[in-house]
Amino acid sequence: MELEFTSRVDYIWALLPEIVLSIGAMVVLLVGVFREADDDPAAGDASPLGWISLIALAAAAMANGWLTGIPVASASPMVAVDPFRLFANWIFLGGAGLTILLSFPYVTRQRLQAGEFYTLILLCTVGMMFMASARDLLLLFLGVETMSIAAYVLTAFNRRDRRSSEAGLKYFLLGAFSSAFLLYGIALTWGATGTTNLLEIGEAVAGGAAVPGLIMAGMGLLAIGFAFKVAAVPFHMWTPDVYEGAPTPSTAFMAATVKAASFVAFARLFMEAFPALYDSWSTVFWWLAALTMIIPNVVALSQSNVKRMLAYSSIAHGGYLLVALTAANEMATAGLLFYLLVYSIMNIGALAVVMVASGHAEERLQIGDYAGFGWAQPMLGVVFTIFLLSLAGFPGTGGFMAKIYLLQGAAESELWTLAVVLALATVVSYYYYLRVAWYMWMRPAAPDLTHEEVWVPLPMRMGLVASAAILIFLGIFPGGIIDLARAATHGFFLAGVLP
């Protein structure tokens, strides 16, 4: 079989992963409704619906794998079927799967409506997959909104917790604000070039057919919209509030996977539509990257709330990823994909430990609450330490390799200052990550703490151990994955445009 995009059926094949996952989301929703209808005492247990969701994700992953093997005869105007998209899909599906797997005890304990919660995660993932595949500004916008609206609801999901509702509302209002920027940018870009197709925009800009001032304004507004989505400084103000207030599985999902999707779409948009304007936008990205690396790292130093610290940490990681966008060469783009993969695993893993350690009403989030945690819960302590080391970029972990690839990418584009800032930021970040590990192992538990009551079911244990093992593996044998990531960037970076 070959995709030619001559008939509509080809579009169905090209969007098979998205379609499969959408159907899966509906199934989860329906099953959830029926489970709530009968008065089964076991209805509170989130894991059956979780497993169905995981099956849906697995089916979508299979569709994604199938699509990887399908040759494409001619490019589609709307939907990209390229390795970049398919690799990104693995990250989204994996991130969603990991979030769901690790959230069973939380969702059960907090009495969240599992059916709706997991449905939203799946639909959010569908939006992400559309973002990765969109080769048209309008499709891109649809993807962004599908993802974002699901994310707003996921943030506000715990109706019993006022922090959650407040965070959801804040996120929604500011998100709407940024969507307006995005939409206006799309309109201006269309006005300047007469098309919404990324490749055609690219040709128009390169050929000088675009209206000069208008295209700059359009591009700038698009950049602002995405800078908000990836929480780049100074468009990050919402992030600490939202990440701290949201139910922790939502935080994990947003900080890792939602951010990954935004970066993937950001990269495709600027590399396909505006390669000719690299000189202009790389300056902007340079500043965004520098600010986003410096400020959150400094602020994170004085955080005593672990969830909030991880929120600032996730902003800082966005800064490192912006370095890859600024460099925009093959190595950097492959590094971006590799980083997103590693980052999703370690960030979801770290927040998953926070989920179970924070107590019934998420009341134990202070760093002091982690004193002696490692000795009371050795398995959680060890994996959490690995996640933190990897987040810090400790040699031998996936996080270290990811940073090395970004540094290499920066070096190849001769972004020396950014590389130095990245190295300095990493050095600073060691402090606040390892401080948590320090408390876990090197501080005696307060007499009134009851770490022993932490409930971690077997699937979650296995998920955490597997995540930690993958991080170590990627630190020692990164070769296979980075080669895949490089293959995924084939023909998809600005090598030709660079000086």
Stretch that binds other proteins, among 101-109, 277-285, 320-328, 457-465 (CB under 8 A): 277-285
Based on CB atoms, which residue is closest to other proteins, 41 or 447? 447
Given a contact cutoff of 8 angstroms between Cβ atoms, the answer to whether 196 and 136 are in contact is yes
Contact (CB, 8 A) for 324 and 409: yes
Residue 404 found at the interface with other proteins (CB under 8 A): yes
**Nearest distance from C-beta of residue 436 to other proteins, angstroms:** 13
Residue 162 binds other proteins (CB under 8 A): yes
Q: Which of positions 323-362 make contact with other proteins (CB under 8 A)?
A: 330-331, 334
Stretch that binds other proteins, among 1-9, 33-41, 58-66, 447-455 (CB under 8 A): 447-455
Chain residues 239-268 in contact with other proteins, contact rule CB under 8 A: 240-241
| Under rule CB under 8 A, residue 420 binds other proteins | yes
Q: Which of 52, 183, 219, 327 is the binder for other proteins (CB under 8 A)?
A: 219
Position 174 contacts other proteins (CB under 8 A):
yes
> Of the ranges 9-17, 109-117, 217-225, 339-347, which one interacts with other proteins (CB under 8 A)?
217-225
Q: Which of 2, 4, 40, 483 binds other proteins (CB under 8 A)?
A: 483
> What's the closest the beta carbon of residue 301 comes to other proteins, in angstroms?
4
Q: Which of 217, 466, 472, 497 binds other proteins (CB under 8 A)?
A: 217
Answer whether 183's CB lies under 8 Å from 141's CB.
Answer: yes
Min CB(240)–other proteins separation in Å: 7
CB of 331 to other proteins, least distance (A): 5
**Least distance (Å) from other proteins to the CB of residue 376?**
5
Number of residues that bind other proteins (CB under 8 A): 87
Calculate ∠ Cα 209-211-212, nearest 5°: 105
Choice between 17 and 335, CB closer to other proteins: 335
Per-residue contact flags (x/-) with other proteins for residues 94 to 123, judged by CB under 8 A = ------------------------------
Residues 281-310 binding other proteins (CB under 8 A) are 281, 283-284, 287-288, 295, 298-299, 301-303
Q: Which stretch binds other proteins (CB under 8 A): 8-16, 18-26, 42-50, 413-421?
A: 413-421
Least Cβ distance, residue 169 to other proteins (angstroms): 7
Please report whether residue 166 would count as binding other proteins according to CB under 8 A. Answer: yes
Maximum distance among all Cα pairs of the chain, rounded to whole angstroms: 72
423's CB contacts (< 8 A; 6+ apart) are 407
Least separation in angstroms between CB 375 and other proteins: 4
Closest to other proteins by CB, 35 vs 403, is 403
Span near other proteins by CB under 8 A; candidates 66-74, 80-88, 175-183, 342-350: 175-183
